[in-house]
Amino acid sequence: MASETIRVGIIGAGRNTISRHIPGLQAIEDVEIIGVCNRSKESSQRVTDEFGIPKIYDNWQDTINDKDTNAIVIGTWPYMHCRATIAALRANKHVMCEARMAMNAREAHAMRMIARQKPHLTAQIVPSPMTLRVDNTIKRLISEGYIGDILAVEVRAGGSFLDTETPLQWRQEFDLSGMNIMSMGIWYEALMRWIGEATQIIAMGKTFVKVRPDSDGIYRAVRIPEHIDVIGELACGAQLHMQISAVAGLIGSPEVYVFGSHGTLRFSENRLYGGQRNDNELNEIEIPTEEEGGWRVEEEFVNAIRGEEVITHTDFNTGVKYMEFTEAVTRSMSSGTAVSLPLQM
* Average pLDDT of the residues in 74-83: 98
Does residue 343 surpass a pLDDT of 70? yes
Query: What are the tens digits of pLDDT across the range 292-322?
Result: 999 999 999 999 999 999 999 999 999 999 9
pLDDT of residue 215: 86
Provide the CB-side half-sphere exposure for 135 (13 A, CA): 21
**pTM beyond 0.85:** yes
Q: Bridge-partner residues for 295, per DSSP?
A: none
> For strand 271-276 and strand 283-284, is the pairing parallel, antiparallel, or unpaired?
antiparallel
pLDDT of residue 1: 53
The matching CATH number, chosen from 3.30.360.10, 1.20.140.150, 1.10.760.10, 3.40.50.1980, for 135-293+323-340 is 3.30.360.10
Sequence ranges of the chain with CATH classification 3.40.50.720: 6-128+295-313
pLDDT of residue 291: 98
pLDDT of residue 118: 98
pLDDT of residue 4: 83
* Average pLDDT of the residues in 236-241: 98
Query: What are the tens digits of pLDDT across the range 51-70?
Result: 999 999 999 999 999 999 99
Q: How confident is the model at residue 191 (pLDDT cuts 50, 70, 90)?
A: very high
Q: How confident is the model at residue 2 (pLDDT cuts 50, 70, 90)?
A: low
Taking the CA atoms of the chain, what radius of gyration do you get in angstroms?
A: 21
pLDDT of residue 221: 93
Does residue 174 surpass a pLDDT of 70? yes
> For strand 263-268 and strand 271-276, is the pairing parallel, antiparallel, or unpaired?
antiparallel
pLDDT of residue 177: 97
Q: How confident is the model at residue 3 (pLDDT cuts 50, 70, 90)?
A: low
pLDDT of residue 265: 98
Sequence ranges of the chain with CATH classification 3.30.360.10: 135-293+323-340
Please tell us whether the domain made up of 6-128+295-313 is placed in CATH 3.30.565.10: no
Does residue 345 surpass a pLDDT of 90? no
